[in-house]
């Protein structure tokens, strides 16, 4: 089993952030744009084969926004449910009579 499977999502985010900082500490600040240019070009190329590349790119980002909104809504509902259950549990707990 790999070490990454033993990490929580938060720990994976932190590890990825550390890797990014490590990457950039080896590159001069003025070179960052040049260093990321191949990645940006490859990303934009995915839309170039569409009949309308601008609409394809807009659709891609709108889809990301929708998924993000759905996730945030699900998290909010989950948190509300946890708070509701916690309130029920504290109401059921024996009190000082």
Q: What's the pLDDT score for residue 61?
A: 96
Instruction: Give 90: exposed, middle or buried? Use CB within 10 Å, 0-12, 13-18, 19+.
Output: exposed
47 close to 57: Cβ distance less than 8 angstroms: yes
Q: Indicate the pLDDT class of residue 1, thresholds 50, 70 and 90.
A: very low
Using one digit for the tens of pLDDT, what is the confidence trace for 28-84?
Answer: 677 778 888 999 999 999 999 999 999 999 999 999 999 999 999 888 888 888 888
60 close to 47: Cβ distance less than 8 angstroms: yes
Go through the chain and tell me how many residues it has. Answer: 97
pTM as predicted: 0.55
The mean pLDDT of 11-38, rounded to a whole number, is 85
Those residues with Cβ within 8 angstroms of residue 89's Cβ, 6 or more apart along the chain or in another chain? none
Q: What's the pLDDT score for residue 95?
A: 60
């Amino acid at each position: 089993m790999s070490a990454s499977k033993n990490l929580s999502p938060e720990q994976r985010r932190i590890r990825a952030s550390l890797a990014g900082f490590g990457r950039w500490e080896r590159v001069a600040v003025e070179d960052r744009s040049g260093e990321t240019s191949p990645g940006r070009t490859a990303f934009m190329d995915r839309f170039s084969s569409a009949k309308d590349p601008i609409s394809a790119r807009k659709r891609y980002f709108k889809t990301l926004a929708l998924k993000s909104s759905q996730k945030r809504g699900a998290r909010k509902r989950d948190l509300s449910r946890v708070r509701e259950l916690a309130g029920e549990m504290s109401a059921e707990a024996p009190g000082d009579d």
